Amino acid sequence: MQSGKIRKLRREYAETTLSRASAGDDPIALFERWFDDAVRAELREPNAMTLASAGADGNPNARIVLLKDFGEPGFDFYTNYESRKGEELAANPRATLVFYWGELERQVRITGSVEKVSAAESDEYFASRPPGAQIGAWTSAQSRPITSRRDLEKARDAREKESAGKPVKRPPFWGGYRVVPAYVEFWKGRADRLHDRLAYTLAAPGVWNVERLSP
């Protein structure tokens, strides 16, 4: 066991604070300010987020995906609908997202229902992807076992040859999901582990209850 080594990993948080007055009443607006801060700080992939879901059996799964859009309607990401996460979201359309920007001593948790974005939105985003990523979406039967890496590459090469010189259309099994937030929590590291936590709970469309939580 490595408990002794791990327990010595400790740092103090003391950079900035999170006050109720500065946070405001709209969690989406606060998220946008924090996200812009992460972009300006030139953090690596500030749009990386943990997506936690659970299927009909209740067993949780989590993985890193990339945020591709956000706003009042929700937080969007794209994937294979037939992947494990797609199957879980079909059986239990609720999820939690976690953003952690360690250099800024900030974390955001977002929980809500999940819905697919429109076909037009998925088409628009797919068309913006690099050609290799478009081919990859067709090639990968995501989450399914494969015999070898070489077989995957051969399937990609065959798809590239078939699509040469032609636009690549979005696969029908691939597209976007939107997490529609009902709960958003902001965490800011503070000294002595007395962190700042503000929780926003949706009370009515566009109306959020805000509470300060004990760390």
Q: What is the 3-state secondary structure (H, E, C) of the chain?
A: CCHHHHHCCCCCCCCCCCCHHHHCCCHHHHHHHHHHHHHHCCCCCCCEEEEEEECCCCCEEEEEEECCEEECCEEEEEEECCCHHHHHHHHCCEEEEEEEEHHHCEEEEEEEEEEECCHHHHHHHHHHCCHHHHHHHHHCCCCCCCCCHHHHHHHHHHHHHHHCCCCCCCCCCEEEEEEEEEEEEEEECCHHHCCEEEEEEEEECCEEEEEECCC
| pTM for this prediction | 0.89
Q: Is the pLDDT of residue 152 over 90?
A: no
The pLDDT tens digits for 126-151 are 999 999 899 888 888 788 887 889 88
Q: List domains and CATH numbers for the chain.
A: 9-128+172-212 (2.30.110.10)
At residue 7, the pLDDT reads 59
What integer is the mean pLDDT of 115-123? 97
At residue 159, the pLDDT reads 79
Range from 66-70, 135-139, 168-172 that averages highest in pLDDT: 66-70
Q: Is the pLDDT of residue 2 over 70?
A: no
